[in-house]
């Protein structure tokens, strides 16, 4: 019986490793394809892919012209999935996003016309230019993967991945996202700038070519569904689970800290980042790497981004990293 048990465990481990290698191959192909368009954004791309694998959504923030929209479109073109883009403006209505029911005179009945959320990848461009009412139309879609209009509910096809871009709140004509909306994003990622060498490389690449227009799909929607399922199988040691809880608990001292949804977001993002790194198990560095992007925007209070980042840095430095053989005890 013991030999049979060991054999079953060995077969299961081999199967998990094989699936993990397949997922890593898919992620590598997407990353390489995006790199043909985006220069100097390797780490940003990896965090975006980690969020995708985790089944979450991403908010890209930075000043205009830093490549937020291009990155989102490059990722979408790399995946053989349905893609829709919504340009958020102050006059955009919730029904422009989710869809609406209208009276069809030929049929003599009300008909539902699907909105752009009925897709696999939704680019919500400059989301903070729309009113809070329209921003909130995405809440149910992002949290539950469904849309309810006029008392009827439609389930969205998986994968459903929202990539929202926004300009800093100081920009004229912007509405800050509600806290409930921010909490739906597994990560809030800043694009950052380019070095002199990277900017010169960008000029050389784009002077005669159009990399985005020439980009092709390197995977399918089914590949992404399998990837997200594999992400949930990434092993997280008990000590690391306790470490995640400890980090989140400290954020709640003397302030309204990270919500339980944020705790799960940190777990899933760590699993996703481990997968991006080619591992089927999480190490402490995975958690530390994604912690700022997952937790900072969930700190509620009179903080700016610099203060929030300093708080998370202080928490990470105050809690001792566990040490263990992270591949053991599966």
- Beta-carbon count within 10 A of 269 CB: 27
CATH 3.40.50.300 fits 39-192, yes or no: yes
Report whether pLDDT(187) > 50.
yes
pLDDT band at 146 (very low <50, low <70, confident <90, very high): very high
Which pLDDT does position 306 carry in this prediction?
Answer: 85
CA nearest to 234, candidates 274, 263, 262: 274
Report whether pLDDT(329) > 70.
no
- Beta-carbon count within 10 A of 225 CB: 15
180-184, 205-209, 301-305: segment of lowest average pLDDT: 301-305
Most confident of 9-23, 164-178, 258-272, 311-325: 258-272
- How far apart CA 142 and CA 145 sit, in angstroms, is 6
Which helix (H) or strand (E) is 231 found in, with range? Answer: helix 221-232
* Strand, coil or helix: 92: coil
Task: Check: CB of residue 180 under 8 Å from CB of residue 259.
Answer: no
Q: Give residue limits of the domains in the chain.
A: 39-192
Report whether pLDDT(21) > 60.
yes
Mean pLDDT rounded to a whole number for the chain: 88
Report whether pLDDT(170) > 70.
no
- Beta-carbon count within 10 A of 14 CB: 10
Which pLDDT does position 172 carry in this prediction?
Answer: 65
Report whether pLDDT(200) > 90.
yes
pLDDT band at 302 (very low <50, low <70, confident <90, very high): low
122-136, 163-177, 202-216, 226-240: segment of lowest average pLDDT: 163-177
Which pLDDT does position 15 carry in this prediction?
Answer: 45
Determine what percent of the chain is predicted with pLDDT higher than 90: 62
CA nearest to 251, candidates 187, 328, 164, 311: 311
Task: Check: CB of residue 141 under 8 Å from CB of residue 117.
Answer: yes
Between these two residues, 318 and 1, which has the higher pLDDT value? 318
- How far apart CA 8 and CA 17 sit, in angstroms, is 14
Tell me the residue ranges of DSSP E strands in the chain: 58-61, 79-80, 83-87, 99-104, 109-114, 121-125, 146-149, 152-155, 161-166, 187-190, 219-220
């Amino acid at each position: 019986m013991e030999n049979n048990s060991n054999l079953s465990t060995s077969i299961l481990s081999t199967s998990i490793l094989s699936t993990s290698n397949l997922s890593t191959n898919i992620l590598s192909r997407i990353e390489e394809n995006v790199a043909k368009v985006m220069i100097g954004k390797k780490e940003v791309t990896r965090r975006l892919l980690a969020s995708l694998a985790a089944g979450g959504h991403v908010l890209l923030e930075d000043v205009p012209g830093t490549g937020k929209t291009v990155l989102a479109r490059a990722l979408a073109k790399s995946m053989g999935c349905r893609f829709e883009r919504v340009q958020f403006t102050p006059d955009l209505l919730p029904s422009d996003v989710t869809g609406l029911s209208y009276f069809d005179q030929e049929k003599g009945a009300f008909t539902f016309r699907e909105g752009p959320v009925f897709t696999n990848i939704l680019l919500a461009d400059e989301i903070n230019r729309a009113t809070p009412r329209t921003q909130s139309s995405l809440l149910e879609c992002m949290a539950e993967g469904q849309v309810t209009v006029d008392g009827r509910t439609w389930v969205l096809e998986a994968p459903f991945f929202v990539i929202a871009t926004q300009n800093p709140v100081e920009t004229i004509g912007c509405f800050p996202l509600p806290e409930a909306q921010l909490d739906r994003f597994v990560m809030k990622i800043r694009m950052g700038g380019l070095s002199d060498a990277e900017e010169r490389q960008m000029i050389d690449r784009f002077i005669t070519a159009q990399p985005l227009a020439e980009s092709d799909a390197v995977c399918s929607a089914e590949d992404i569904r399998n990837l997200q399922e594999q992400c949930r199988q990434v092993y997280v040691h008990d000590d690391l689970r306790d470490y995640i809880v400890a980090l989140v608990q400290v954020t709640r001292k003397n302030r309204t800290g990270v919500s339980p949804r944020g705790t799960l977001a940190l777990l899933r993002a760590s699993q996703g980042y481990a997968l991006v790194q080619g591992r089927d198990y999480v190490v402490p560095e995975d958690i530390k790497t994604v912690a700022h992007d997952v937790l900072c925007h969930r700190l509620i209070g009179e903080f700016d981004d610099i203060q929030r980042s300093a708080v998370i840095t202080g928490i990470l430095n105050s809690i001792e990293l566990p040490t263990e053989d992270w591949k053991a005890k599966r």
